[in-house]
């Protein structure tokens, strides 16, 4: 040992003159860093109660609880996370996964109590000192645990699609569907919104697990027309999808289609194992649209003998006659219908009630009646020149094309309206070789048509003229039609939900076309009902009043579909059919 | 890496071989040959470092897999040797004479998986647990959550709701009785 | 070392004695003992003031991580692995992520690799500072402990700023890292590094030149090169014996192949040299951190977007990934059965062999007062033994 | 805590061998009897200002005790000091999760501590199991086995949270609100039963003072 070794320890004394390490007032001087993962905060308005935080919490520290002042709506479960600080490990996975970005962490970290029961609170609702702290951990832009982008759907290019009636949307491959299905967080918010309350998270999980048989069974639990709904459903579910808050919602509709696309229809019977014992009771259904078919399926599987009366020469109703083939190929629709037929449902075609068969005969011969005749009476524009030759209704065009008749629309058409029928008519006209111009009273964002349809119509180069109030149609000298409208401005009225178009005085425009297609909506046609029944059944604004079992005011008569529900889409009709079947079952078994 | 695998195939006719990376491979070896192979690898092929011994439980095939991970410090390659044991009475030849740390590993495996290594020193002593009476905790059929709830009873008073069910209750209670 | 006739003979590293003879005392050191790092117990048989036999007892911190991971999704495993080694949690985080990424076939962005390396080196420095506090404390030099642990706290401040967590950073997630460097962080880092360097110089003066430390630590717990493979010794304990084994160099992971550094070795592995080597490695870490900061790629692509982590499944496979922690080869052996949950994760902690096999061997004929120093000089950390 | 019963029968030290039993104490713990209002006030003041912590790091919480006892946070300023042995300590900081094996030692250490003694539950693990809620080897609720005076939530609670916790404890001591030791004495049988239910090989005396 050297002398140095004996002396060097005394070097520590030098430190006596250094600035000490000690933090003088640690409690006051040291707030958590700006990114500190401290106690939780939740933006109660932003949160939708999807429960992803609960699922990802590996400590089972999060419960979803109802909170005062938060109502359950279609987009919000009304539940909020309650965190148990006897479990939490402050890993912030709940913050990372949060589908809305409402959950955050403050940089506060001191909570002391002598009672172990108090360490539970609902962030955002409980008054805590850190409720409004700014600093703390929150989601970052470049780091997400979710997949916010939808898997692109392979589609025909607009250039190709506008030329033919081949289906535009090609459908997911297995790999794409699995990837898309993986994006689901299984929150289940969509189930309430779906009119049929389909078990969406469950069948998506089945896709993920590649168990398509199970997926098909889940579909048929609530919807006997999956191939149809997989294509033309209005997919209200996607509007409330929690992934859609920050990103693109799951392609729920296309996933449903994927399931049916993958399974050969000859195997349906084996997979679904629909077994039933005939119970000897008979039900008649008027209209072989989605409502009627759905009711038929659930009635026949409950053991009833079902007969459907259909006025047209093929079943399918508005789906066949009102939706063009490039959106809803007929073989797919036939697949859905065939399976229902296979189960023993009798469909009598070309039989118009009131003409070929009397309503009263049905009423007397069957144990119950269900009618779902749909809206097939186009509204009139109520303008001059509407009855000129060359003015068609949108439905008529679609109907003709389905039947293989080529309507005489010439080289250019003006389509009036902004709904799905208008889009379909405009795009059908394109495929028939005409230039389409779409004319609508309000703005594009006010159009009731699906956004995808509007988008595709744009892509296929349909011209859009908006804020145009139709005035009249005139015949021109060269045999064309002149559609004249008045430009409008949008004026917000007090008390009105949306602004309405008000004509700008003197700003009148016109367009010369070969044909005008009016597609401004449809009403119901109740001519099949004899007066003695029509007087007993109650209506409101042209719609049949039904109870939750789809029962009309005449106990034996049930109704559903577009003539009864406000949404007037296929999935609602299917849901009505299901409810009616349950209602009829209840009604008949009570006796 | 390929070289040693070829040698293993030649000498011991070992298959199958799973090559993970350029410097890592796993081979499955017959139970009784393992000490022999290990000794050969250690003494002649420079696989001098035993990184660990561990087990994986496969109740679905009624087997427990033992993994011996060897490392070669010259070539910097890892060789994992797998041995499949019968699950009902798993027993394995002890190799505590080859490396000093092995006895502890075997003690741990006895405790956590219930694998017997006859002759291994201190095998019956506790490793991490004390007074354990249930089935060995690392077996797949041991449910730790259930055990914990039964034994250490979590603090009561918690209740959660499933958004799907809760919305059903709130928004469309009529559909409740179905299904 | 005059008359040793009263001590029992030692054959093959084991003292031959009869406990019932009444000549020897059994003493428990730990688990409740300030000289024992972590929470483990040494069962000592002593003759006079010399240890003649030692058994290590662990399990006081056994939480069953491996079992818990079997019932957690891959992403849910990541908050719990860092708890396996508290002073240096990032190695665990990195290895879990690396194993999952390898099995899933994911290549993480370049920037994430740099950030991961940065945290690994920073946590190495923090862990060594914590350890040198323990090492000096075990030999009665509380001053160095005060300095080192306070200095480590400034590194924890850096981690807090970077990751939001002081002790458990939970920064390295499967797929990358959680966030970019905050602005101004590089200046804070440089500040801390300069202070650490100053402190390391002072530690050299007061510790390595300290006559007491020299006398007690030199020739304490000698590891000869031939013991290294026999006991499975890794890391600084092996490097001090002259074996240039460092996974950062031998099997470069992350971006270690892009960094310029040499494996540090010493030629005689006793407590003194092991301490000195770790002190040198602290300097090395500081150098590496500076290199990483200088080469840090621009941009903010630091995370690979995993499939929705709630449904993330990893294909069949098994792998063993490893990294050089402060204590040596740290490894994760992961078996995946194609589900969303790992089939098996085995954590190989270097302390396992050091504490369970090596320590009882080295403890024979060591003065009981030096036991704590010997144990700390192996840098054992119990939770990674029992997990 | 409803099922606590008062029972005055002596426990038999059953964990010990027959010949060892007489060697150990078999007196039940006694509740502390206050000495009089002003004396007690003074004593409480004194107790509050010399909280000596048992240096037993039972879990990961111990990692933040090191910074606390070193230069940066310097807990000696608040009258806190680590002690190596239970006989000198008055505060037991339970550092988070507790495995069954540790619990056994913790009970022993706690019982050996001199009264008045206080227990601080550090981290969420002590409240409701924390992140090891489903582990087969860690307890979920510390208050079932030991009387806990205060809980500090966090994982890990920072040194500052610890300081705040100690300050709170001091206030409670000064106000005479800490009753842990007496609670343990009052509900001794309940605690013992809980402890013995999970510590399977109870090979230690039932009375550790």
Does residue A535 have a pLDDT over 60? Answer: yes
Domain A166-270 coded CATH 1.10.1060.10: yes
Q: Contacts of residue A87 in chain D, CB cutoff 8 Å?
A: 124, 127-131, 133
Query: What pLDDT, on the 0 to 100 scale, is given for residue A366?
Result: 87
Cβ atoms of A473 and A481 within 8 Å: the answer is: yes
Q: Contacts of residue D128 in chain A, CB cutoff 8 Å?
A: 84, 86-87, 116, 119
pLDDT per residue as tens digits for the range D30-82: 888 888 888 888 988 988 888 898 878 787 777 888 888 888 888 888 888 88
For the whole prediction, is pTM greater than 0.90?
Answer: no
Complex ipTM value: 0.85
Cβ atoms of A440 and A466 within 8 Å: the answer is: yes
- Interchain CB distance below 8 Å, C59 and B127: yes
Domain ranges of chain A: 31-121, 166-270, 275-376+523-590, 380-520
Does residue A490 have a pLDDT over 70? Answer: yes
Average of per-residue pLDDT across B133-143: 88
Cβ atoms of A142 and C180 within 8 Å: the answer is: yes
Q: Which residue of D153, D172, D183 to mutate against A (max A Cβ within 10 Å)?
A: D153
Average of per-residue pLDDT across D152-160: 87
Distance CA A523, CA A501 (A): 23
User: Quick one: tokens of C344?
Assistant: 């098996």
CATH number of the A31-121 domain: 3.30.70.3270
Better pLDDT: B171 or A591: B171
- Interchain CB distance below 8 Å, B148 and D200: no
Q: How many CB atoms lie within 10 A of CB C144?
A: 22
Query: What pLDDT, on the 0 to 100 scale, is given for residue D7?
Result: 57
pLDDT per residue as tens digits for the range A49-67: 888 899 899 888 899 889 8
Burial of A351 (0-12, 13-18, 19+ CB in 10 A): middle
Element (H, E) at B36: helix B34-44
Q: How many CB atoms lie within 10 A of CB A154?
A: 11
Q: How many CB atoms lie within 10 A of CB A125?
A: 18
Cβ atoms of D65 and D94 within 8 Å: the answer is: no
Distance CA A564, CA B160 (A): 37
Distance CA D45, CA D51 (A): 11
Is A492 in a helix, a strand, or coil?
A: coil
Domain ranges of chain B: 2-155
Domain ranges of chain D: 52-198
Kindly state whether C147 is in contact with chain D, defined as any CB-CB distance less than 8 angstroms: yes
User: Quick one: tokens of A482?
Assistant: 């002149």
- Interchain CB distance below 8 Å, C80 and A58: yes
Does residue D1 have a pLDDT over 50? Answer: no
pLDDT per residue as tens digits for the range B3-27: 777 777 777 777 667 777 888 888 8
Is D147 in a helix, a strand, or coil?
A: coil
Of the candidates A77, A86, A548, the beta carbon closest to that of B166 is on A77
SS in 3 state form for chain C?
CCCCCCCCCEECCEECCCHHHCCCEEEEECCCCCCCCCCCEEEEEEECCEEEEEEEECCCCCCCHHHHHHCCCHHHHHHHHHHHCCCCHHHHHHHHHHHHHHHHCCCCCHHHHHHHHHHHHHHHHHHHHHHHHHHHHHCCCHHHHHHHHHHHHHHHHHHHHHHCCCCCCCCEECCEECCCCCCCHHHHHHHHHHHHHHHHHHHHHHHHCCHHHHHHHCCCCCECHHHHHHHCCCCHHHHCCCCCCCHHHHCCCCCHHHCCCCCCCCCCECHHHHHHHHHHHHHHHHHHHHHHHHHCCCCCCCECCCCCHHHCCCCCEEEEEEEEECCEEEEEEEEECCCCCEEEEEEECCHHHHHHHHHHHHCCCEEHHHHHHHHHHCCCCCHHHHC
Q: Mark which residues 89-148 of D lie under 8 Å from A by CB.
A: 121, 124, 126-131, 133-134, 141-143, 148
Closest CA to A233 of A255, A266, A206, A218: A255
Query: What pLDDT, on the 0 to 100 scale, is given for residue D2?
Result: 45
CATH number of the A275-376+523-590 domain: 3.50.50.60
Average of per-residue pLDDT across D86-99: 87
Distance CA C63, CA C60 (A): 9
pLDDT per residue as tens digits for the range A331-353: 888 888 888 888 888 888 888 88
Query: What pLDDT, on the 0 to 100 scale, is given for residue C35?
Result: 58
Domain D52-198 coded CATH 3.40.50.12280: yes
Distance CA A323, CA C111 (A): 51
Cβ atoms of C95 and C65 within 8 Å: the answer is: no
Give the total residue count for chain C.
Answer: 387
Does residue A142 have a pLDDT over 80? Answer: no
Q: Which residue of D has its CA nearest to B147?
A: D136
Of the candidates C245, C251, C386, the beta carbon closest to that of B23 is on C251
pLDDT per residue as tens digits for the range D135-150: 888 888 888 888 999 9
Query: What is the CATH architecture assignment of B2-155?
Result: 2-Layer Sandwich (3.30)
User: Quick one: tokens of A199?
Assistant: 């078990």
Only one residue has tokens 């070392």, namely: C1
- pLDDT block averages, 10 residues each, chain C of length 387: 72 76 82 70 85 86 88 89 86 91 89 91 91 86 86 90 88 88 89 91 87 87 88 89 89 89 89 91 92 88 84 89 90 90 90 87 86 87 83
Q: Contacts of residue A90 in chain D, CB cutoff 8 Å?
A: 154-155
Distance CA D160, CA A278 (A): 75
Does residue B178 have a pLDDT over 60? Answer: no
Q: Where are the alpha helices (DSSP H) in D56-113?
A: 65-69, 100-112
Q: CA dist A26 to A19, A22, A493, D157, D170, Å?
A: 16, 9, 59, 14, 17
Better pLDDT: A1 or A251: A251
Kindly state whether B158 is in contact with chain A, defined as any CB-CB distance less than 8 angstroms: yes
Query: What pLDDT, on the 0 to 100 scale, is given for residue C285?
Result: 92
List, as one string, the DSSP characters of D9-62. PPP--TTS-TTTGGGS--PPP-PPPP--HHHHHHHHHHHHT-EEEE----SGGG
Does residue D9 have a pLDDT over 70? Answer: no
Query: What pLDDT, on the 0 to 100 scale, is given for residue A170?
Result: 82
Closest CA to A183 of C372, C100, C306, C364: C306
Average of per-residue pLDDT across A149-160: 84
Q: What are phi and psi of B31, to 5 degrees?
A: -50, -45
Query: What pLDDT, on the 0 to 100 scale, is given for residue C1?
Result: 52
Q: How many CB atoms lie within 10 A of CB A576?
A: 30
Distance CA C263, CA C281 (A): 9
Kindly state whether B100 is in contact with chain C, defined as any CB-CB distance less than 8 angstroms: yes
Is A411 in a helix, a strand, or coil?
A: coil
Distance CA D98, CA C62 (A): 9
Distance CA D174, CA D48 (A): 6
CB contacts < 8 A, A to C, total 120
Q: How many CB atoms lie within 10 A of CB C215?
A: 14
Cβ atoms of C359 and C56 within 8 Å: the answer is: yes
Domain A380-520 coded CATH 3.50.50.60: yes
Does residue A284 have a pLDDT over 50? Answer: yes
Kindly state whether C70 is in contact with chain D, defined as any CB-CB distance less than 8 angstroms: no
Check residue A218 and report its DSSP letter.
H
Strands A435-439, A557-559: pairing is unpaired
Q: Mark which residues 9-68 of A lie under 8 Å from D by CB.
A: 20-23, 26-27, 30, 58-61
Of the candidates B161, B163, B178, the beta carbon closest to that of A189 is on B163
Is B171 in a helix, a strand, or coil?
A: helix
Identical topology for domains A275-376+523-590 and A380-520: yes
Domains annotated for chain C, with CATH where assigned, are 65-386 (1.10.645.10)
C-alpha torsion angle, residues C346, C348, C353, C355 (rounded to 10):
-90
- Interchain CB distance below 8 Å, A192 and B161: no
Kindly state whether B132 is in contact with chain D, defined as any CB-CB distance less than 8 angstroms: yes
Closest CA to A273 of A227, A230, A228, A220: A220
Q: What are phi and psi of D94, to 5 degrees?
A: -85, 110
pLDDT per residue as tens digits for the range A391-438: 888 888 888 888 888 888 888 888 988 888 888 888 888 888 888 898
Distance CA A81, CA A66 (A): 9
Q: Which long-range contacts (CB under 8 A, 24 or more apart) does B107-114 make?
A: B109/B53, B109/B54, B109/B55, B109/B66, B111/B136, B112/B55, B112/B136, B112/B137, B112/B138, B113/B55, B113/B57, B113/B64, B113/B138, B113/B139, B114/B90, B114/B139
Q: Contacts of residue D121 in chain B, CB cutoff 8 Å?
A: none
Sign of the alpha-carbon torsion through C152, C154, C157, C159: negative
Query: What pLDDT, on the 0 to 100 scale, is given for residue C194?
Result: 93
pLDDT mean across residues, chain A: 86
Check residue A249 and report its DSSP letter.
P
Least confident of A171-185, A491-505, C115-129: A491-505
Query: What pLDDT, on the 0 to 100 scale, is given for residue C288?
Result: 92
Query: What pLDDT, on the 0 to 100 scale, is given for residue C379?
Result: 87
Query: What pLDDT, on the 0 to 100 scale, is given for residue B176?
Result: 42
Q: Which residue of A64, A122, A549 to mutate against B (max B Cβ within 10 Å)?
A: A64
pLDDT per residue as tens digits for the range B33-42: 888 888 988 8
Element (H, E) at A563: none
Kindly state whether D100 is in contact with chain B, defined as any CB-CB distance less than 8 angstroms: yes
Does residue B167 have a pLDDT over 90? Answer: no
């Amino acid at each position: 040992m050297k002398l140095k070794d004996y002396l060097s320890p005394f070097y520590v004394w030098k430190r006596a003159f250094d600035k000490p390490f000690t933090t003088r007032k640690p409690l006051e001087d040291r707030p958590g860093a700006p990114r500190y993962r401290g106690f939780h905060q939740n933006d109660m308005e932003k949160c939708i109660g999807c429960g992803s935080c609960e699922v990802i919490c590996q400590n089972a520290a999060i419960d979803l609880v109802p909170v005062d002042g938060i109502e359950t709506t279609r987009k919000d479960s009304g539940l909020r996370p309650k965190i148990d600080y006897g479990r939490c490990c402050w890993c912030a996975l709940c913050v990372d996964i949060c589908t809305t970005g409402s959950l955050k962490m403050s940089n506060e970290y001191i909570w002391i109590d002598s009672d172990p029961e108090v360490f539970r609170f609902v962030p955002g609702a409980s008054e805590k000192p850190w409720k409004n702290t700014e600093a703390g951990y929150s989601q970052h832009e470049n780091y997400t645990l979710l997949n916010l982008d939808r898997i692109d759907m392979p589609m025909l290019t607009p250039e190709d699609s506008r030329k033919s009636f081949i289906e535009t949307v090609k459908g997911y491959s297995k790999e794409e569907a699995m990837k898309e299905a993986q994006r689901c967080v299984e929150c289940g918010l969509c189930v309430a919104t779906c009119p049929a309350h389909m078990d969406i998270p469950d069948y998506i999980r089945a896709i993920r697990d590649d168990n398509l048989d199970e997926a098909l069974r889940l579909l048929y639990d609530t919807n006997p027309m999956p191939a149809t709904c997989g294509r033309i459903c209005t997919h209200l579910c996607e509007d409330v999808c929690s992934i859609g808050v920050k990103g693109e919602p799951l392609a729920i509709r296309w996933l449903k289609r994927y399931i049916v696309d993958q399974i050969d229809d000859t195997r349906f019977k084996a997979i679904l194992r629909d077994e039933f014992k005939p119970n000897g009771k008979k039900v008649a259904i008027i209209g072989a649209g989605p409502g009627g078919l759905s009711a038929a399926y659930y009635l026949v599987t409950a053991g009833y003998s079902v007969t459907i009366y259909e006025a047209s020469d093929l079943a399918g109703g508005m789906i066949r006659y009102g939706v063009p083939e490039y959106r809803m190929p007929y073989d797919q629709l036939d697949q859905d219908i065939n399976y229902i037929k296979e189960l023993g449902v009798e469909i009598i075609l070309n039989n118009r009630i009131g003409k070929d068969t009397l309503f009263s005969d049905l009423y007397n011969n069957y144990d119950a009646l269900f009618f779902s005749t749909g809206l097939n009476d186009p509204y009139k524009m109520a303008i001059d020149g509407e009855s000129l030759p060359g003015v068609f209704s949108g439905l008529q065009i679609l109907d003709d094309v389905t039947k293989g008749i080529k309507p005489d629309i010439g080289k250019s058409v003006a389509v009036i309206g902004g709904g799905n029928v208008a889009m379909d008519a405009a795009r059908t006209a394109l495929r028939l070789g005409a230039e389409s111009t779409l004319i609508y009273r309000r703005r594009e964002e006010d159009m009731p048509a699906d956004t995808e349809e509007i988008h595709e119509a744009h892509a296929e180069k349909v011209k859009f003229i908006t804020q145009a109030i139709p005035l009249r149609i005139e015949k021109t000298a060269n045999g064309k039609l002149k559609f004249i409208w008045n430009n409008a401005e949008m004026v917000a009225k007090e008390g009105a939900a949306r602004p309405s178009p008000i004509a700008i005085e003197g700003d009148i425009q016109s367009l010369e076309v070969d044909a005008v297609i009016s597609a401004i909506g449809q009403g119901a046609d109740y001519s099949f009902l004899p007066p003695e029944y029509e007087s007993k059944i109650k209506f409101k604004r042209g719609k049949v009043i039904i109870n939750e079992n789809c029962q009309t005011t005449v106990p034996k008569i049930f109704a559903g579909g577009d003539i009864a529900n406000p949404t007037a889409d296929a999935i609602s009709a299917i849901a009505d059919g299901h409810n009616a079947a349950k209602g009829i079952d209840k009604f008949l078994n009570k006796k | 890496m390929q070289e040693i695998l070829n040698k293993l195939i030649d000498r011991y006719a070992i298959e199958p071989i799973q090559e993970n990376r350029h410097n890592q491979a796993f081979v499955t070896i017959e139970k009784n040959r393992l000490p022999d192979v290990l000794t050969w690898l250690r003494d002649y092929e420079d696989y001098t470092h035993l990184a660990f011994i561990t087990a994986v439980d496969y109740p679905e095939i009624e087997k427990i897999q033992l993994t011996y991970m060897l490392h070669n410090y010259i070539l910097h390659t890892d060789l994992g040797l797998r041995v499949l044991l019968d699950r009902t009475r798993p027993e394995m030849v002890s190799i505590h004479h080859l490396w000093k740390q092995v006895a502890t590993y075997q003690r741990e495996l006895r405790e956590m998986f219930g694998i017997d290594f006859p002759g291994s020193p201190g095998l019956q002593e506790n490793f991490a647990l004390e007074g354990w009476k249930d089935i060995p905790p690392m077996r797949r059929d041991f449910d730790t959550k259930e055990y914990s709830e039964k034994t250490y009873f979590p603090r009561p008073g918690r209740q959660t709701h499933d958004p799907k069910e809760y919305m059903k209750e709130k928004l469309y209670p009529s559909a409740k009785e179905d299904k | 070392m005059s008359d040793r006739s009263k001590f029992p003979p030692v054959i093959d590293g084991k003292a031959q004695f009869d406990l019932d003879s009444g000549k020897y005392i059994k003493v428990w050191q730990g688990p409740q003992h300030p000289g024992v790092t972590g929470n483990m117990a040494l069962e000592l048989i002593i003759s006079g003031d010399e240890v003649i036999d030692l058994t290590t007892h662990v399990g006081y911190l056994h939480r069953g991580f491996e079992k818990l991971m079997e019932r957690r999704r891959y992403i849910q495993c990541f908050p719990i692995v860092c708890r396996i080694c508290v002073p240096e949690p990032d190695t665990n985080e990195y290895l879990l992520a690396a194993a999952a990424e390898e099995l899933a076939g994911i290549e993480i962005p370049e920037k994430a690799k740099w950030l991961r390396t940065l945290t690994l080196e920073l946590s190495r420095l923090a862990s060594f500072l914590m350890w040198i506090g323990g090492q000096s404390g075990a030999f009665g030099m509380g001053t160095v402990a005060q300095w080192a642990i306070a200095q480590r706290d400034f590194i924890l401040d850096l981690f807090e700023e970077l990751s939001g967590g002081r002790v458990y950073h939970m920064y390295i997630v499967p797929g990358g890292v959680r966030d970019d460097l905050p602005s101004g962080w590089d200046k804070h880092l440089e500040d801390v590094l300069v202070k650490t360097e100053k402190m390391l110089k002072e530690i050299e003066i007061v510790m390595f030149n300290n006559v007491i430390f020299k006398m007690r630590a030199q020739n304490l717990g000698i590891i000869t090169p031939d013991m290294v493979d026999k006991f499975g010794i890794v890391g600084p304990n092996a490097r001090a014996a002259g074996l240039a084994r460092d996974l950062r160099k031998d099997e470069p992971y992350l971006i270690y192949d892009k960094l310029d550094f040499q494996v540090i070795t010493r030629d005689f592995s006793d407590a003194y040299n092991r301490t000195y080597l770790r002190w040198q490695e602290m300097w090395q870490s500081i150098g590496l951190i500076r290199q990483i900061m200088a080469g840090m790629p621009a941009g903010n692509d630091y995370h690979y977007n995993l499939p929705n982590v709630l449904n993330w499944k990893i294909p069949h496979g098994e792998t063993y990934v490893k990294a050089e922690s402060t204590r040596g080869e740290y490894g994760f052996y992961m078996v995946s059965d194609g589900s969303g949950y790992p089939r098996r994760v085995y954590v190989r902690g270097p302390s396992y062999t050091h504490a369970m096999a090596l320590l009882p061997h080295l403890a024979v004929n060591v003065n009981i007062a030096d036991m704590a120093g010997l144990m700390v000089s192996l840098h054992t950390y119990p939770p990674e033994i029992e997990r | 805590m409803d099922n606590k019963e008062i029972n005055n029968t002596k426990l038999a030290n059953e964990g010990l061998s027959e010949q060892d039993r007489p060697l150990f104490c078999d007196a039940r713990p006694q509740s502390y009897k206050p000495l009089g209002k002003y004396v007690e006030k003074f004593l409480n003041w004194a107790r509050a200002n010399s909280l000596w912590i048992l240096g037993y790091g039972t879990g990961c919480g111990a990692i933040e005790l090191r910074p606390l006892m070193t230069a940066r946070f310097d807990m000696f300023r608040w009258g806190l000091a680590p002690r190596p042995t239970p006989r000198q300590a008055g505060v037991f900081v339970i550092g988070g999760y507790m495995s069954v094996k540790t619990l056994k030692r913790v009970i022993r250490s706690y019982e050996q501590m001199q009264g008045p003694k206080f227990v601080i539950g550090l981290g969420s693990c002590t409240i409701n199991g924390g992140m090891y809620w489903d582990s087969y080897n860690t307890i979920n609720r510390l208050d079932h086995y030991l009387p806990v005076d205060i809980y500090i939530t966090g994982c890990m609670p920072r040194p500052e949270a610890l300081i705040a916790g100690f300050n709170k404890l001091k206030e409670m001591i000064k106000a005479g609100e800490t009753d842990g030791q007496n609670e343990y004495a009052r509900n001794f049988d309940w605690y013992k039963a809980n402890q013995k239910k999970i510590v399977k090989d109870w090979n230690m005396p039932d009375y550790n003072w």
